[in-house]
Structures are given as structure tokens and as C-alpha cells.
Structure 1
């Protein structure tokens, strides 16, 4: 088969797609990854074949926003996706207006620059299957335009599918004259332009690949294919200091790359956290962006500060991981059965962290409340109470029981044959 992956240019999201792309490639299928020009090098560094489509976007408008606006945008899930967490607290008008805002300020900016180029390439190359990231709706458009089967790949809790399910329910309850749908208004004309009928598949795919175990999942009434998370973080080299096991319990502090790459910095106070752990008989390894390192006026004697280290190499040596509940970071840690203290803030992070804490292998403190004192107390609990380690191991076993990307390939082949339209 010919299989086309596509995503808007975000490294952490693309990294979640790489293991499945390689599984399909090693199964003998022809795989290409269509992305905007500036992202081609990221794809080729993963050893995959890239196709440059469209033009580069300008989604992130941080130069135009003051810091208060930036922080407000980061505070958890925006409407309408917050309905996935608490549907009873969100009404029709709030969801409708939330979709309208996100279409204008997010989805159009990510997708418009690549829709035409991606569709042209798909019609030329004729893929059998298109796998697209949850917000890269251009992938569904291109697939429908050329008759390919298509699937979403979700990288965290499926707030997109669940929120959409709630919205459709509320929409059906409205009178005929009051059923506005900003997503249909946006994507419907593309369906007509490229000669196919609009369906909800443009939002949620014909089926969905997801990488969370059942204890953490949030599912809509969709066709889901569970897949084991396999860590991939880009080009990696293991430093010599990681060759040997630590002499003391090792605590990792890692807050992801998005906070410093796209925003004003970490939501949690790194220096306060490091200082709070300074007198403990532990080794702290903190992966901190160079821009944030420059703000540290001092470093405790038990802390090692590094700009980056392969997380999948660091985690097995750790007793506790302090992290932001980014899905890649969280799942890499969970895959090794390490208890976690999450300090979430952005988008899906608080909900993933809440579900993880309910599972029992972790604790969570919202980032703006994560004082050094509270983090220290959480770390001591995770180190001292065996139940956290036991539940973390249970979550590890649950993840490892999911089909690997390689084991998922035959099912993808079956669904492609079912959904592909040969004569389009």
C-alpha cells in the first residue's frame, strides 16, 4: 500500500507518529510524510521520506500578544474542547462560539497553507491510506478528494472527538434555524470544491489510532484502534554519565520544549523546585532549555542541569519524574513504571494528569500552584509510599499489553481495504 502521513509543523506531535510510520515501512508499505516546507528536515531526520506541500504558516502570534494574553491562552482547555471534561458545565452558545474562535485563530491558520498542495499531491500519488494528526484537517480533505481511506492519530486524551460528540448532541436539540456549526461552515466548502459530500469523517476520521491505555482514555462513540506508545524524541545520543546506575535515588525534572519554544517560559518555578530538593539525599537531573538556564542564578549541589537528554534513556534510571504531563513525556515515564509528579498547565495536560492521578501511579499539582514546598512534599510521598510504585507498574503493564505499531499493521490493512474508494 501507499500510506501518507501528514501533520502541521509541531515536533512533539510528529514524534508521536514516527513509530507507526516506521512499522508500516518495515512491513513493506511505501510511506511518505507531507508537511510544510520548514518542517521537511524534521521528517528526514527521522529517516522518513518527506514531501513539501503548501507554504509555511504563521500560527503562533506571540509577538503580537502580551504575556497576560499568552498565559490566558495556555490555561487548560479552551471552549469548546473543555466540554469533553465537563459537558454539563458548557452550553450550546459557548461551544458554538468556541468553535468559531478556534477556526479563526487556530485551525484555519494551521490548515489553509497546506490544503491545496496536500490535495494536489494526494491526487497525484494516490495513497491508499492517509493518517493525519487530530488538528490537521487538511489530511481528511486530501484523502476524501483522492478516495483514500483515512484515520486520525490522536496523541493524548481525545478531547476533539468527545467535544464534537457533545456538540452534535446539542446541535440536534436546537431548532432548525439555530444550528450554526463553524466547523461545517469552514470545511464544507472544501468538500464541495473537491467533489465529495461532507461528512463528520472530516473531523474525526473514518477510524482513530490512539495511544492511551483504557485507564487514561477519553473516548467518543468512534472506531478506535488502541496502539502501544513507543517513545521517539528525535535525534538522540546517550551521554556517558547515563552509562552507570545512580548511587542515590534519581529525580528527573523535565517540563517539555513547547513552553520555551513557543511561549514565554515554564509555568512552574524551576528554581523554587530545585531549591526545595537541595537538601534531600537524591540526585536531580533537570532538562532545562538554555534560555531558562540563563535565568538560574544558582544551582544546588545535588542537581545536574542539561539542555536535553533522550528521555527514554534517562527514565529507567529514575525513582521519580517531575513533568508537565505532556503526553510524550508522561507516557515515556509510564512505560517504565516510574511514579510521576505532574505539574500541568497547557491544553490537554491537566486532564491527562487528573486521570493519571486517579489511576494511582502519580500525583498532580497545577503548575501555578507548584511551589517548591508542595513539589518537595509530593516527591517525598512518591519515594516513601510503595503504593505509587505499585500502581505505576500496573499502568506500565496496561500500556505494554496494547498492540505495538507493528502488530497494528494488519488491522490498518483491513480497514484501508474497507474504506478506500477506488474510483474517485
Structure 2
């Protein structure tokens, strides 16, 4: 079987797909990964064959400029208040998201991806959740295609609401900019181009099935266990030595620096607040961010990078932003977290941890140094949080099949759905 992964050039999202690509390759299938040229080295360093397509998109620049000017659209895919989710609001939101976001990250790769797919003839195309270019290419070459979710399915939930409200409108007011764009690129449109023939999902069962989130969308799901992969890395010497004091990791993700205009909280304030605790604070910060801090407390170690899969198991507490890669990697080692959520899926993931006794959460707007210190002290003093984190990993995340165990189901579904348009 030939399997093509399609991911626009967003490193953190692509890394979540790598263990599944490895599993398919190990099972003897031919695997290729298509993305804009920017991601080529990342793909190769993961031991996979890259197919550079099109030109690099400029979304990072657009997003950063908008953040600096406070001009980013305010449509939230995580919104769930019925009084807000009117047809006019959803129509406006999709009118913003499609041209400002989804077209920017997809349009530069579509033509080359379609041409490659028609030439290589994959049996299955796995596309990262908003890399709609993968669905367009599958439509063009007749491949089965699957959407890969790297977090809870807020995109699918909002799309379902959009379609339901759209179909309640009079015929002259059923605007659908996403369907119109996809139809223009593929020559036709069906709703599976937004969801895949099936969805590959690494979200733990209790989170995906939480009735309060409304994520049961009636879609064909292939659950796959989250496997931590942070990219190629080396374990530094200091990390191979036992910590002399409880270790607290502070990691706020790469997106805030690479894509936005900085962190949503003051790192210097947090380090100062933790400075009198009998702990070792390891803060992962780019060099330019370290230079802005000036003097830091004596119990703080600043590093530009440390593989979280190696760092987390040495920690007593991890303070993070609640991104799925960071949160699930930390959870896989049974380490309690203090999550400082800000946007998109982060508040939902933080609530999942807190609800299950695996950590605490403070929204960024409340995350003063004093409040963070109080919560860290509480996490260190109460062993129930570590127990809750271990239980959540053992009884929820481990309940999912490994990528290797999921391969036979992917083979079956690819055989079932491939062929249209060949």
C-alpha cells in the first residue's frame, strides 16, 4: 500500500503524525510526506521521505504581524455558547478563517500535490486536520483519505454546527466559503472533503467522549495512542544526573514566539516568584528571550531546548501552556501539570487535566507570579496530583491502540474507500 501524508509547514502539528508514519513504514508500506519546502528537513530528520510541493506559505508572517497590530480575527473555533453561535456569526467566522488562514497555508501546495498524487497513485492520503490540500489531492487521484487530528476536534464540531445552521437558511442565504473554495480547487465538493473518509484521533477516550464537549459527531473514528516525539534531539549531561531538588519545568511552547508576538505571561515574573522555593526550575527559552530576562534567581536553569520526553520524567511538576504535544507528553510520564491556557484547545485540555485530578489550571489573564507560585506549592505538596496523572495515563491514554496496532484497520479502510475517480 502507498500512503501519502500531507501536512502544511507547521512543525508541531506534523510531529504528532510521525509515529503513525513510522508504523505504516515498518509494516512494509511505502510512505511519503508532502509539505511545503520549509518542512523538508524536519521530515527527513524523522527518517521519512519528503515530497516538497509548491512554495512556502507566509502564514507565520501574517499571524505575527496581526498579533503585533492586534488585528487577528476574533472567531474562536472553541466557542460553544449557543447565544453566540448564530448563523450570522458562523458565516462571518468562516468568511474570515478560510481566506485568512486555510487558503494561506494550503493554496501554495495544492497544484503540486495534486500532480504528485496523480503520478504516484497513493492508496491512502492522511492529511493534517486543516491541510485540505490532502482531501483535494485524494479527490483528484481516487485515493482513500483520512483526517489526522492532533487535538480535540474543535474544527469538526464547528463545521457540524455550521452545516446544520446553513441548511436551515433559505436557499439564497446558504453561503459556504469553505465548500466553494474546495469545489473550485477539486472540481466538485462533498462533505467528506472536510472530515476525511475517516478520522484518525489521538485524543484520550474520556476527553473525546465528554458529553459536555459535544464531540460525538457521528464520524468514523480510528483511535490511535499518542506517542511522544519531539524531533531529533540529544539528552544533555545535566539531564542524565539525578536532580538534587524537586525539578519544575517551565515550557510555554514554540508557537508564541514563532507565530505570535511573545508569551502571554511574563516569564521573568514567574521565575522570580519561584526563586525562593527549594526546587530547580528548568525554563526552556530561545536565546533571544533569555537575553530579555536579565538576572534570574539562582534556582533557575535556562536552556534553549531540552527534549520534553527526556525532561518530563525527571520533573515533579511541569508548568506549560496546554498545547496537546506538551500536555500529552508530560501526561505520558505521570507528571502533574500547572497549565496556563490561552487560546483554541488549551482551555479544554487544561480542564481535562484538572477534572481528573492530574493538575491545576490558571488562565493566562490570572497567571501572576504569586498565583503560579501558590499552585506549584500545592502540586508539590499533594501526592494525589501525581497519582491522578499516572491514573489518567494508565487508564485513559493507554486504552488506545498503538500506531502499530492501528495499521490493520487503516489497511482495511483504505481498501474500502479507495478507487473513486481512478
Give the TM-score band, short-chain normalised.
over 0.9
Partners of 1:237 and 1:310 within 8 A in 2: yes
Structure 1 position 208 matched with structure 2 position 209: no
Partners of 1:43 and 1:50 within 8 A in 2: yes
Q: What aligned pairs does 1:314-393 form with structure 2 within 5 A after superposition?
A: 314-393=311-390
CA offset at residue 87 of structure 1?
Answer: 4.1
Distance in 1 separating the partners of 2:91 and 2:119: 36
CA offset at residue 64 of structure 1?
Answer: 4.2
SS in 1 for 2:348: helix
What per-residue deviation string (whole Å, max 9, x for no partner) do you get for residues 6-62 of structure 1?
111011011011110001000100000011122211111111000111111111315
Partners of 1:323 and 1:330 within 8 A in 2: yes
Distance in 1 separating the partners of 2:157 and 2:96: 18
Q: TM-score, normalised by structure 2?
A: 0.95
CA offset at residue 66 of structure 1?
Answer: 6.1
SS in 1 for 2:70: helix
Structure 1 position 49 matched with structure 2 position 46: no
SS in 1 for 2:206: coil
CA offset at residue 423 of structure 1?
Answer: 5.6
Structure 1 position 260 matched with structure 2 position 261: no
Partners of 1:251 and 1:285 within 8 A in 2: yes
Match of 1:165 in 2: 160
Q: Which of 94, 100, 106 lines up with 2:95 in the alignment?
A: 100
SS in 2 for 1:24: helix
Match of 1:35 in 2: 35
Partners of 2:339 and 2:362 within 8 A in 1: yes
Distance in 2 separating the partners of 1:37 and 1:274: 38
Distance in 2 separating the partners of 1:258 and 1:65: 14
What per-residue deviation string (whole Å, max 9, x for no partner) do you get for residues 332-351 of structure 1?
00111111000111322222
**Relative to 1, partners in 2 of residues 1:62 and 1:147: Cα closer, same or farther, differing over 3 Å?**
closer
Partners of 1:236 and 1:310 within 8 A in 2: yes
CA offset at residue 104 of structure 1?
Answer: 1.1
CA offset at residue 119 of structure 1?
Answer: 0.4
Structure 1 position 303 matched with structure 2 position 294: no
Structure 2 gap segments, 5+ residues each: 209-214
Q: CA RMSD in A?
A: 1.5
SS in 2 for 1:82: coil
SS in 2 for 1:118: helix
Higher mean C-alpha displacement, 385-394 vs 233-242: 385-394
What per-residue deviation string (whole Å, max 9, x for no partner) do you get for residues 132-159 of structure 1?
0011000001011101000011111110
Distance in 1 separating the partners of 2:322 and 2:119: 40
Partners of 1:325 and 1:350 within 8 A in 2: yes
Q: TM-score, normalised by structure 1?
A: 0.94
Q: Which of 59, 62, 75 lines up with 1:79 in the alignment?
A: 75
Distance in 2 separating the partners of 1:394 and 1:106: 38
SS in 2 for 1:392: helix
What per-residue deviation string (whole Å, max 9, x for no partner) do you get for residues 324-370 of structure 1?
00110000001111110001113222222223222221111112321
Partners of 2:64 and 2:259 within 8 A in 1: no
Partners of 1:157 and 1:348 within 8 A in 2: yes
CA offset at residue 160 of structure 1?
Answer: 0.6
What per-residue deviation string (whole Å, max 9, x for no partner) do you get for residues 275-327 of structure 1?
11111111111111111101111111111110000000000111110000011
Distance in 2 separating the partners of 1:416 and 1:296: 52
SS in 2 for 1:203: helix
CA offset at residue 219 of structure 1?
Answer: 3.9
Distance in 1 separating the partners of 2:392 and 2:381: 19
Partners of 1:363 and 1:378 within 8 A in 2: yes
Match of 1:141 in 2: 136
Match of 2:404 in 1: 406
Partners of 2:78 and 2:345 within 8 A in 1: no
Distance in 2 separating the partners of 1:423 and 1:186: 20
What per-residue deviation string (whole Å, max 9, x for no partner) do you get for residues 382-401 of structure 1?
11223322221121111122
Partners of 2:63 and 2:259 within 8 A in 1: yes
**Relative to 1, partners in 2 of residues 1:30 and 1:56: Cα closer, same or farther, differing over 3 Å?**
same
Match of 2:268 in 1: 271
Match of 1:11 in 2: 11
Partners of 1:345 and 1:367 within 8 A in 2: yes
